[in-house]
Structure 1
Amino acid sequence: MKSNPPQSFNELEQWLNLRRVTEIECLVPDLTGVARGKILPRGKFTEDRGMRLPQAVVAMGVTGEFPESGPYYDVIDPTDRDMQLRPDPATVRIVPWATDPTAQVIHDCFDHAGKRVPFAPRSVLRHVCSLYEEMGLSPVVAPELEFYLTARNTDPNTLLKPPIGRSGRAETSRQAYSIDAVNEFDPLFEEIYDYCDQMELNVDTLIHEVGAGQMEINFFHGAPLDLADEVFFFKRTVREAALRHDMYATFMAKPIAGEPGSAMHVHQSIVEQESGRNLFSQIDGTPSEAFYHYIGGLQRYIPPAMALVAPYVNSYRRLSRHTAAPINIEWGHDNRTVGIRSPISVPQSRRLENRVIGADANPYVALAMTLACGYLGLKNKIAPKPEMKSDAYLSAYALPRTLGEALDWLRRETDLHEVLGREFITIYTEIKELEYEEFMKVISPWEREHLLLHV
């Protein structure tokens, strides 16, 4: 959480004055988590207190395409109407890499009647959190975000490679938790931490993950919307810093063949608003019924919700047996082979870790998804499966294997539609179906190698 963030437009103006800001990056996260919006002079931002953009700006795919017809236009007005964007003062941050004093502010999306646009990712997460508030509860989350550093790659047909470090050599072997391997990129990480400090992003531990050039950053726990904003800002920051050091940072789920994929593990717990007590623990410190019901909700609804947190064809390359990524929704204490892990902790810190989410997921959608599954478990008192105490990779697959299959499962799961919003599910599935169709038009090197002369 930022120290005393602005809570009103007047406080935001004071914040901007104190830092002599001359330009504002007005941002809105789209369906993929990409920053859309406009850059305004300070005077124009102060005068308008917001801006307008077409509705479809937050409802486009990663290719920038839109469906030509179908249910998409039951939600998006075919006349391409505007939506009104209002700044959230608490999200203001300085842009540390800008030449002139520049701030960035995340905006919320509203229609002309003043209602939140229900398919905007930030609106979806707000809505799920409001369901907990109605129950007198507050979710607490802490993401762990993995990513790869790679050498610059300007040709999509060229394989990605690890970048050159201070030693003048690239990594050729796996260096999990190696301090020296992280130190290879000291200048980059010093700049990343400096940027994060200037932006008041609450990042915690940096480690080297299993893959060559793969890193992980942990965030301190907090409210879901705050943490989604921080992940959104962090992704922009890391990409920018990497470019300044002649390399790329990528959050693709599986960027390099033969290396582990990248995840966004989300630790989560639920707190009673009145007492401040962790809902997952009883007074005597043992796990509560709510703890098990939450697990039951995750197990019941994660499989049909996978398209939300494994949003691309590439995402499913990560979810394979014995690759440090789960293949099912078993749960267990201190067991990293399962999809739902209960880490070792004291009772007041008892939490669950959702390990199925990919680093390529939109952070707002990802947090909304996992909290929605847990909410349904609490509401419907869903009992979990018995704890997995052995290697979950020896169990059967329980997750969809392709994006097409995942979209079919999501369309059929009406309970999730009720919690996340029918408009959002319609927009999301229509856009992802379009992306999937685009991908299927591409013939891969594997097909040319093994099928060209053999079938």
Structure 2
Amino acid sequence: MELNDLKEWMRERRIGDVSCLTPDMSGNARGKNMLPGLFLSSLENKSLRIPEGTYTISVHGEMIYNDHVPGTERDLVLAPDLDTIHLAPWNTDATAAVICDAFTDQGAPFNMAPRQVLRNVVELYHQKGWTPIVGPEVEFYLIARFNDVVLEPRAPDGASGLREFGQHVYSLDAIDEFDKLFEELYQFCDIQHIDLETLIHEDGPCQFEVNIRHGEAMKVADQLFLFKRLARQVAKRHGMFVTFMAKPYADESGSSIHLHQSVVDRKTGKNIFADKDGEDSAIFRHFIGGLQAHLPAAMPLFAPYTNSFNRFEAYMSAPTNTHWGRENRTVGLRVPSSGPEARRVENRISGADINPYLAIAASLVCGYAGMVDKIEPRAEYVGQGYDDSDSPLPATLTESIETFSESDALKKYLGEGFVDTYAAIKHSEFEHRSSVLSPWDVRYLMVNV
């Protein structure tokens, strides 16, 4: 969008406020609100700025400094991507929102910013004449509002006045209990150009899944970033919360974001995962081989918190290894049945608590490394993947951080500065969590030891 088109767009919609958004390491929106005049002038003189420490904020709010991001906190220039401008329909006044990238004063991209991490990975594909395509399946729970963070979550009351319990997978009646909420969710997604497709009820109480239509990686990541923010706002408008926590209930299925991935030729638009006879191509096998080889090292980007690892439990709709198989939902890497044009692999490892930019970047870079290094995958796994203990995923966050920190492949493709900084943030979060009195401590230790 050109500047004159932007001015007209804002004038037609009588925009009274502008939110400049930038995703932090947790995938949450940081940034600034401002009046339209100031926003437009900042575009012309590049005066929209933010400290680089914004991109090293932990989930508990601490800025993490190291050799790559020193405590001097220099300013970065925020550059709005005008192709992402949209309305924030939950605001009372007409508010525009736009996703921003970060640059140094010398014009270099800030390679620690999550959106730039993904952009760098996409560029690796472009240099080979490829375009990565991603389609996410997003799971989440609706939960009752609360103000005591120690209490366990519970399902909200539906339209009938009854609280859901038990399993209602694929139940349409259970969806209808929250019909007004989902009607507004789809309406707001349409306003923000989020291309939602199907909606289903999942295994847990008030657990749902929506699919975002497949597309180019950056556009899909932007939609996923906006969707999580939008869903929280819609839920609050209906007197409840939505959680993307990977395992909010100890005895129920966790929530994931399954990533369907394929690669097309930039010139022809054809899916390179199928050969001319419609069979699996060598490059498709190598993509799977790369995922198997490098996913364990990239685990902090798919399972970023201690709670994330609670989700990986056999027979709970979550993978426990990196096996691959056709139409097999018990392995980490599933190949759905499809024609040659839709040949793809579904990464079932990432939780719903991911930063979409970083998880998509990680999955794509693992596959990329497999393609360029011609890594052959292990044989297809046939049967219940839960029954096999070979090639397990890392068991804990601390184990996964150490493996992540030592990965030469991830440092090569994602940048050593990013790997070091992200690992430092995860260490800080783990230490902070370990210092907090938990409900388990209160329940079993307070008066018993």
- Tell me the TM-score normalized by structure 1: 0.96
Structure 2 residue 319 is the aligned partner of structure 1 residue 322? no
SS at match of 1:304: coil
- Amino acid of the structure 2 residue aligned with 1:17: R
Q: Indicate which of 113, 129, 150 corresponds to 2:122.
A: 129
SS at match of 2:200: strand
The superposition leaves residues 76-95 of structure 1 with CA deviations (integer Å, 9 ceiling, x where unpaired) of 13211101001001100111
Corresponding residue of 1:111: 104
SS at match of 1:303: coil
Q: For residue 14 of structure 1, report the CA deviation from its aligned partner.
A: 2.6
Corresponding residue of 1:357: 350
Q: Indicate which of 2, 7, 21 corresponds to 1:27.
A: 21
Q: For residue 277 of structure 1, report the CA deviation from its aligned partner.
A: 1.5
**Distance in 1 (alpha carbons) for counterparts of 2:12 and 2:377:** 52
Corresponding residue of 1:191: 184
User: Unpaired segments of 5 or more residues in structure 1?
Assistant: 1-5
**Distance in 2 (alpha carbons) for counterparts of 1:116 and 1:323:** 41
Task: Say if 1:332 and 1:75 are closer, same or farther in 2 by CA, change over 3 A.
Answer: same
Structure 2 residue 363 is the aligned partner of structure 1 residue 370? yes
Corresponding residue of 1:230: 223
Of 24-33 and 197-206, the range deviating more from structure 2: 197-206
**Distance in 2 (alpha carbons) for counterparts of 1:306 and 1:185:** 34
Corresponding residue of 1:141: 134
User: Unpaired segments of 5 or more residues in structure 2?
Assistant: none
Corresponding residue of 1:292: 285
Structure 2 residue 49 is the aligned partner of structure 1 residue 55? no
Q: Indicate which of 207, 210, 218 corresponds to 2:203.
A: 210
- Amino acid of the structure 1 residue aligned with 2:430: Y
Of 179-188 and 442-451, the range deviating more from structure 2: 442-451
**Distance in 1 (alpha carbons) for counterparts of 2:40 and 2:439:** 52
Structure 2 residue 214 is the aligned partner of structure 1 residue 221? yes
Structure 2 residue 63 is the aligned partner of structure 1 residue 66? yes
**Distance in 2 (alpha carbons) for counterparts of 1:203 and 1:76:** 37
**Distance in 2 (alpha carbons) for counterparts of 1:29 and 1:393:** 35
Corresponding residue of 1:425: 419
SS at match of 2:381: coil
**Distance in 1 (alpha carbons) for counterparts of 2:370 and 2:31:** 37
Structure 2 residue 241 is the aligned partner of structure 1 residue 244? no
Corresponding residue of 1:440: 434
Q: For residue 451 of structure 1, report the CA deviation from its aligned partner.
A: 5.8
**Distance in 1 (alpha carbons) for counterparts of 2:347 and 2:124:** 20
> Following TM superposition, where does structure 1 have runs of at least 4 consecutive aligned residues deviating by more than 6 angstroms?
452-455
SS at match of 1:139: strand
Q: For residue 276 of structure 1, report the CA deviation from its aligned partner.
A: 1.5
Of 8-17 and 159-168, the range deviating more from structure 2: 8-17
Of 49-58 and 244-253, the range deviating more from structure 2: 49-58
Equivalent pairs, count: 445
SS at match of 1:28: strand
Structure 2 residue 329 is the aligned partner of structure 1 residue 336? yes
Corresponding residue of 1:99: 92
Q: Indicate which of 377, 382, 393 corresponds to 1:384.
A: 377
Corresponding residue of 1:278: 271
The superposition leaves residues 5-27 of structure 1 with CA deviations (integer Å, 9 ceiling, x where unpaired) of x2x33332232222221211011
- Amino acid of the structure 2 residue aligned with 1:43: G
- Amino acid of the structure 1 residue aligned with 2:246: A
Corresponding residue of 1:175: 168
**Distance in 2 (alpha carbons) for counterparts of 1:236 and 1:23:** 18
Corresponding residue of 1:12: 6
**Distance in 2 (alpha carbons) for counterparts of 1:273 and 1:66:** 40
Task: Say if 1:170 and 1:451 are closer, same or farther in 2 by CA, change over 3 A.
Answer: same
- Tell me the TM-score normalized by structure 2: 0.97
The superposition leaves residues 245-278 of structure 1 with CA deviations (integer Å, 9 ceiling, x where unpaired) of 1100010001112110000000000001112211
Q: Is the 8 A contact 2:19 2:33 kept in 1?
A: yes
